[in-house]
Chain A
Amino acid sequence: MSDDLVARAQAGDQTAFRELYRQHAGRVYALCLRLTGDGRDAEERTQDVFVRLWDKLRSFRGDSAFSSWLHRLAVNVVLNERRTTGRRERRVMSAEDPDTVVGAQHAAPLHLNIDLERAIAELPDGAREVFVLYDIEGYGHGEIAQLVGIAEGTSKAQLFRARRLLREKLER
């Protein structure tokens, strides 16, 4: 059970921590991939998240579900990295990237998801981050403003822009 794994990992059990990685890597990687728009960056950030998790694990007190807590940690790691380095080139998913999307269950035709994933990756950084956090991950504008370090109005404007750009890209 996840609770038991978390408790064991908090007590320093490396095997339990590895199992936590196995259980949550897909969810964290998906978030990193969409926030960064780049497969290689996403791999690095996923590793950053789990290294950071090992340090922070003892501060998890169960006030929320572990997966939600980890998700928030991952968002912070990705956004902090961006703030720290200040680098952010506009990136486009490479040709082989669509293969990485396979693996989860799809309710829609695969090509639609791949088109949408690619279109999201091609969004400008600010618009992509707000779109991923709001429309995919369910954060509110207030939370996003805090996380990203922008005004709430900017978050709304970026979301509007992202949706418009996505619709345009997908109609082409």
Chain B
Amino acid sequence: MNEQELHDAVSRLPKSIEPPRDLWPGIEARLARSGAWRRWYWVPLALAAVLVFLLIARAERSAWDVTALAGRPLIGTTRLAASGRLRVGDWLQTDDSSRALIAVGRIGQVEVRPDTRVQLVVAKANEHRLALARGTIDAKVDAVPRLFFVETPAGTAIDLGCAYTLETDSLGNGLLHVTAGEVEFQTGSHASRVLLGALMQIRPTTGPGIPYVEGAPAPFVRALIAFDFAQRGTRARAIRTVLALARPQDALSLWHVLQRVDPALRGVVYDRLAALVPPPPGVTRRAAIALESRALEGYWTKIQRIHFRMMVLRGVREIDPRTGLAKP
């Protein structure tokens, strides 16, 4: 057996092997013995206590700290000197020479860039919500997913544990650029998931476009935008270009395309995606084309894993974008 044959054999090894017996009872018993389960029983009680405290401090809770980083931003009609409080319902506005930093409760911060208008909508322990009417914000959140939301005229950015830059005009034309973790952008009709190192165009009527990775070839990005936002005839041409130009690292784009093309085209999109990044075990062509959520989620998990690995090890190790494994 030569080196290549060994490599091929290794690459075919199953990633998952079921244990010969159910290990859960042993795990559960150890957690119970160590008191770890019991310790967690206090968590709901502790949360309830925190909730009571927060209810008592309701007035304080419904306001976030704001610091002026440059110039003198406005809160309502009041000029902010060095720092102040942004209360639910208040608008914070920067002009072309001012910037501000909002503390998002205790879970993160938002830098408000010049020429931006943003409102505090909800300030609760389980929901932190801003409305971005226009301008640009840089958000950084360190919390469990789905605690921080930013509404724009075109839809809502939902934090899944991340950092990102979001810009929009007053009509809802905008751009989302994720620099850490993952963001979901939702409208009433559909949603996109944007991973770190990826961007996504936003339009007022159609909402989130198809995300694409930084450095994707310009013709590929143009075709994606045409597919997202152009007329029907143009979309058919655009999809052919997208499929022809897609690389393995564009799998996250094709995963979204699969769900947005006409049903008759799903097969060809799936085949291209599968050729670039083979589906994980258990994901069948039939299930993916039928848009069964289990199949789509399984595929997404693989794409997400490879993508994170490529980003984290960028410049350190060359990763095969088809498998996520380091290249020999």
Contacts and interface: CB of A to CB of B under 8 A. Distances in A.
Interface of A: 1-3, 6-7, 10-12, 14, 18, 21-22, 25-27, 29-30, 33, 39, 42-43, 46-47, 50-51, 54-55, 61-65, 67-68, 99-101, 103-108, 112-113, 116-117, 134-140, 142-143, 163, 166-167, 170-171
Interface residues of B, number: 59
Nearest to B14: A104
17 contacts: A2-B301, A14-B37, A21-B24, A21-B27, A25-B24, A47-B27, A51-B27, A62-B161, A64-B312, A65-B301, A99-B20, A103-B14, A105-B281, A105-B282, A107-B12, A136-B10, A142-B316
A140 B316 contact: yes
B182 A62 contact: yes
Contact of A167 (B6, B27, B43, B162): B6
Interface in B20-43: 20-21, 23-24, 26-28, 30-31, 34, 36-37, 40-41, 43
A50 B27 contact: yes
A30 B15 contact: yes
Contacts of A25: 18-19, 23-24
A55 B36 contact: yes
The A contact surface, by secondary structure, is helix
Nearest to B40: A12
A27 B16 contact: yes
Nearest to B293: A1
Contacts of A22: 24
Interface string B293-317: 0000100010011001100110011
A43 B308 contact: no
A95 B26 CA distance: 24
B13 A117 contact: yes
A47 B30 contact: yes
B163 to A, nearest CB: 9
